[in-house]
Amino acid sequence: MLLKDEVGMLQRVPLFSGIEPTKLKLLAFTSDRVSYSAGQILFRQGDEGDAAYVILSGRADILVDSDSGPIKVAELAPNSIVGEIAILCNSSRTATVRAASQLEALRIRKDHFLRLMREFPEMTIEMVRVLADRLNHTTADLIDARSGK
């Protein structure tokens, strides 16, 4: 996959959809293209968060440690971004991400990511929107869960 294809992929990621293509190209160029085979770990729960990943092709599982071993809590499809929370919060990874098939991803380093946010407010706003959206969902889920009880 070439740089220009990656730009196309990035445009389909909601977080980056508002950013002009030349900036996305810069983001893609300065990121590392990484590939994993099924079963390889992108990062582990508890590691320091040093990069975010945009899945270009393939699938990955999000796993959370529990007393009875790791539990799969979600699955990542192409065009999704993962690992951005640890970067934003300066915290350690809250889950483990493992490739479920042959996986191609863009690895955006923490300092690059933060720099982009500082330089492109439209991206930051989009980011806030996505996070707020997630919070909305989580809140709705929480209400559902409580009322169901």
Partner 1 sequence: MEPSLARYIWKHTKKQQIWILLIVLLSMIPYFLSFDLPKLIVNGPIQGRGFEQPGATHPFMRLHYDLPFIGEVQFFSGFQLDRTATLFALSVVFLLLVIINGLFKLYINTYKGRLGERMLRRIRFDLVDRVLRFPPVYFKRVKSAEVATMVKDEVEPLGGFIGDAFLQPVLLGGQALTAMLFIMVQNFWLGMIAVVIVLIQIVLIPRMRRRLIVLGRERQLTARALSGRVGEIVDGIGAVHVHDTSNYERADIAARLGLIFKIRFDLYQWKFMVKFLNNILAQLTPFLFYMIGGYLVIQGRLDVGQLVAVISAYKDLPGPMKELIDWDQARQDVQVKYQQVVEQFTVEGLIAPRIGALAIDDPAPMTQPLSAISLSIADDGGAMLLNRISLQVKPGETVALVSTATGGAEALAEAFARLNWPASGRVASGADDLHELPEAVTGRRMSYASSDVFLFQASLRDNLLYGLKHAPLTPVTYDGVAAAQRRWNINEALRSGNSDLDINSDWINYASVGATGPSDLFEAVRRVLDAVVLSRDILDLGLRSSADLTRHTELARRIIELRATLRTRLEHEGLSGLVVPFEPGAYNKEATIGQNLLFGAAAGPELADRALAANPYFASVLRQAGLDRTLYEMGMEIAEQAIELFADLPPDHQFFQQLAFMSAEEIPAYETLLQRLKNRPYEAVAENDRAMIVTLSFAYIEPRHRFGLLSDELMSKIVAARNRFYENLPPELQNAVERYDPAKYIAAATVMDNVLFGRVGNNHPDAPDRIRSIVYDILDELGLYAEVLDVGLDFNVGSGGRRLTSGQRQKLDVARALLKRPDFLILNRPLSALDQRMQEKVLRNVLEEARRDGHSPAIIWVVTNPSMGMMFDRVIVFDSGQLVEDGTHETLLAGNGILKELLS
- Which residues sit at the interface with partner 1, rule CB under 8 A? 1-4, 6, 22, 25-26, 28-30, 32-35, 107, 111-112, 115
CB 123 within 8 A of CB 16: yes
Q: Quick one: CA torsion of 107, 109, 113, 116, rounded to 10 degrees?
A: -100
**Which 8-state DSSP code applies to residue 45?**
T
Nearer to partner 1, 63 or 106 (CB): 106
Nearer to partner 1, 9 or 62 (CB): 9
Nearer to partner 1, 6 or 126 (CB): 6
Q: Provide, rounded to whole angstroms, the least separation between the CB of residue 74 and partner 1.
A: 22
143 is written with which tokens?
Answer: 């209400």
- Cα dist from 76 to 35, 57, 66, 79, whole Å: 15, 10, 20, 9
Q: Provide, rounded to whole angstroms, the least separation between the CB of residue 64 and partner 1.
A: 22
Nearest to 92 by CA among 44, 141, 49, 145: 49
Nearer to partner 1, 3 or 71 (CB): 3
Q: Provide, rounded to whole angstroms, the least separation between the CB of residue 82 and partner 1.
A: 14
Q: Provide, rounded to whole angstroms, the least separation between the CB of residue 3 and partner 1.
A: 4
